[in-house]
Amino acid sequence: MKIPLARPYITKSIYQEIRKLIQTGFLTEGNYTKKFERLIEEYTGCKDCVAFTSATTALEAVIKSLNLKKNDEIIAPNFSYPATISPAILYNHKVKLIDVNKYDYNLCFDELSKNISTKTKVVIPVSVFGNSLNYAKLLKLKKKYGFVIIEDAAASLGTTYKKKKIGSIADYTIFSFHPRKSITTGEGGIVASNNTKKIEWLRMFKNFGLKKEGKSIFKISGTNLKMSNINALFGINQIKIFDKILKKKHNIVQNYINELSKHENIQIQEVTKNSKHSYQTFCITLNKRDKAIKYLRSKGIEAQIGYYALNQHNAFKKNKNVKVCGNLNNSIFLAQHTLALPLYYQMTSNEQSYVLEILNKFLSLKKNEKK
Ligand SMILES: Cc1ncc(COP(=O)(O)O)c(C=O)c1O
């Protein structure tokens, strides 16, 4: 049996929809992009949002829009995908990397408080794999120190905190639509915010700096980071059935939890209090993680590591603008021990039973057999 880690769920109506789009001849950014933006706005409850070519370019544009000064600092968690901090690094900003919690994988607020200074202007917390941030704590710190929150919610469309959807709580929330995410546009990202003025600026920036006020005026110096109608069409197709996708994924996750919580040597990612995880990824920690991945893959199951400890990678290790705060032990532990298991809407109970059977087999191997 061959089991992928993730698989997009796109309904068959896409074939007709694509034909219709091709007939219009309008393949660049257009009405479909606008419609997708409105649907995400409705879904998340934010005031406005703007689509980009990816979450990474969306993050880049938001950072650019903040006009940070030379000595301003950005704080970000050390356990993530490099894209959380690479836009800041590209613009030569100073980034402080802090540790995360060992069980929910999200940014540690004690570490945040310890490392905040008057120079801290931005915090980029990551809601890891769809697990909500603890906003009660984060907003308290924001009130005290006044930083801007750009939530890297690349994996978190559909996550709720105190029954409120992610997208309308942070100053800026960035979603990704890469094919491993719960809905995909091939490549794509969105910035959601209640700051409509800033969204207007971002809309100009990603479209060559163009403002259409009757005639075309290039108001700011911009670039081209537009999401095409083609990409947006895929997003529209899936956002309409997203709640159905989420429900099915939750059922699959519940089966994983029921089975895997019996193993005392496995830890399942803890869900933040008062929130609902959107499970872009179902992740556990276990010993001999790399051997587990090799074993699962040898049986046709695509398992994957969780995230990286960013401080261990040359791009950041050797960069004078990156400051490592504290020992970062939890992020280093998680980078070595997290295992993402297959999870997708179409997953059958047979497929899931097979994953569990093979994982159980691996766990029951004697130490010297785990090669
Ligand atoms: C936490 C996080 N941030 C950002 C990104 C980048 O997203 P994109 O591929 O849409 O640029 C990813 C991609 O997986 C991610 O996991």
pLDDT in tens, 294-341: 999 999 999 999 999 999 999 999 899 999 999 999 999 999 999 999
Ligand 1, pocket-test mutation among 81, 150, 151, most atoms within 8 A of CB: 81
CA angle 335, 273, 355 (to 5 degrees): 50
Angstrom distance (rounded) from CA 127 to CA 213: 38
pLDDT at 8: 97
Using pLDDT thresholds of 50, 70 and 90, give the confidence band for residue 131: very high
Question: 120 - beta bridge partners?
Answer: 73
Task: State the distance from the centre of ligand 1 to the C-alpha of 99, rounded, in angstroms.
Answer: 19
Q: How many whole angstroms from its chain centre is CA 208?
A: 26
Nearest CA to ligand 1 atom 8: 55
**Token code pair at residue 59:** 């993050």
Q: What percent of the chain has pLDDT over 70?
A: 98
pLDDT in tens, 31-87: 999 999 999 999 999 999 999 999 999 999 999 999 999 999 999 999 999 999 999
Hey, is 218 helix, strand or coil? strand
* Sign of the torsion angle spanned by Cα atoms 237, 159, 64, 85: negative
Q: Probe ligand 1: pick from 176, 177, 182, max atoms within 8 Å of CB?
A: 176
8 Å CB contact between 245 and 183: yes
pLDDT of residue 318: 87
Cα-to-centroid distance, 263 and ligand 1 (Å): 31
Q: Is the pLDDT of residue 192 over 90?
A: yes
Q: For residue 7, is pLDDT > 70?
A: yes
Q: What is the mean pLDDT of the chain?
A: 96
Index of the ligand 1 atom closest to the CA of residue 128: 1
Please report the atom of ligand 1 found closest to the CA of residue 84.
3
Q: In the chain, how many domains are there?
A: 1
pLDDT above 90 for 369: no
Q: Residue 210: enclosing H or E segment and its boundaries?
A: strand 210-213
What range defines the domain where residue 273 resides? 1-371
pLDDT of residue 212: 80
* Burial of 139 from C-beta contacts in 10 A (0-12 / 13-18 / 19+): middle
Q: How confident is the model at residue 368 (pLDDT cuts 50, 70, 90)?
A: low
- Ligand 1, atom 9, lies closest to the CA of 178
- Give the least confident one: 250-254, 262-266, 340-344: 262-266
Measure 211 CA to ligand 1 centroid, in angstroms: 29
Lowest pLDDT segment from 99-103, 260-264, 353-357: 260-264
CA of 179 to the centre of ligand 1 (A): 11
- For ligand 1, atom 16: residue with the closest CA: 81
Statement: residue 225 has pLDDT above 70: yes
- How far is 136 from 116, CA to CA, in rounded Å? 18
| Average pLDDT rounded to a whole number, residues 98-107 | 98
Q: What is the pLDDT of residue 371?
A: 60
Question: Whose structure tokens read 């005026």?
Answer: 217
Burial of 234 (0-12, 13-18, 19+ CB in 10 A): buried
| CA distances (Å), origin 24, targets 21, 27, 32 | 5, 8, 11
Sequence-distant (≥ 6) Cβ neighbours of residue 19 within 8 angstroms: none
Given pLDDT bands bounded at 50, 70 and 90, which one contains residue 370? low
Q: Is the pLDDT of residue 210 over 80?
A: yes
The atom of ligand 1 lying closest to the CA of 180 is: 14
Predicted confidence (pLDDT) at residue 215 exceeds the cutoff of 90? no
- 3-state SS class at 216: strand
Percent of the chain topping pLDDT 90: 96
Closest CA to 174 of 289, 264, 87, 274: 87
Burial (0-12, 13-18, 19+ Cβ within 10 Å), 221 = exposed
d(CA 345, CA 6): 9
Cα-to-centroid distance, 197 and ligand 1 (Å): 25
User: Looking at residue 105, which CATH number applies to its domain?
Assistant: 3.40.640.10
Atom of ligand 1 nearest to the CA of 56: 11
Q: Tell me how far the alpha carbon of residue 289 lies from the centroid of ligand 1, in angstroms.
A: 23
Both tokens of residue 225? 């980071």
Closest alpha carbon to 97 in 330, 340, 337: 330
Instruction: Report pLDDT for 367.
Output: 65
298's tokens = 């040898």
d(CA 124, CA 56): 13
User: Across residues 199-214, what is the average pLDDT?
Assistant: 94
CB 305 within 8 A of CB 282: no
Report the separation in Å between the CA atom of 160 and the middle of ligand 1, taken as the mean of its atom positions. Answer: 19
CA of 162 to the centre of ligand 1 (A): 25
The pLDDT assigned to 213 comes to 79
pLDDT at site 293: 98
Q: Kindly state the DSSP code that residue 248 receives in the 8-state scheme.
A: H
Pocket of ligand 1 (CB under 6 A): 54-56, 80-81, 83-84, 126, 152, 154-155, 176, 178, 189
